[in-house]
Amino acid sequence: MTSRKSSRDPPGPVPVAAGQAGAASFTVERRLAASLSAILLRNADDSENGIAMLDADNIFLYHNQAFAQMFGFADCTMVGKHYDDMMIWPIPIAAGR
């Protein structure tokens, strides 16, 4: 008995020329990472939990509305701004309550 492949089955190995295996693997990984990032960001927008992403220099790359509201920034964006510039004042205010 032979099994027929469905369009939902994962693709089999793709032949790659010698020396290109690493490049092909890297391309697939980058595509997968981009797809997963898009899914995560789409779901983060709808989350009631505060979610933010910063780069290695502590610059905001992304934040959802819940995160902005947690720190009193519901009316503006923090994207492109440094963490220290945005978070220095909410801490003393909250501590004084």
Q: Which three-class secondary structure string do you get for 37-68? A: HHHHHHHHHHCCCCCEEECCCCEEEEECHHHH
The pLDDT confidence band at residue 57, using thresholds 50, 70 and 90, is very high
Distance CA 74, CA 72 (A): 6
* Same domain, residue pair 61 and 29: no
* Same domain, residue pair 52 and 83: yes
* Same domain, residue pair 25 and 55: no
Percent of the chain with pLDDT over 90: 16
In a domain, 73, yes or no: yes
Domains identified in the chain, total number? 2
Average pLDDT over all residues of the chain: 75
Handedness of CA 35, 36, 39, 44 (dihedral sign): negative
Handedness of CA 78, 84, 88, 90 (dihedral sign): positive
* Same domain, residue pair 53 and 32: no
Mean pLDDT for the stretch of residues 21-31: 72
In a domain, 41, yes or no: yes
Residue 11: is its pLDDT beyond 70? no
Which comes out higher in pLDDT, residue 58 or 29?
Answer: 58
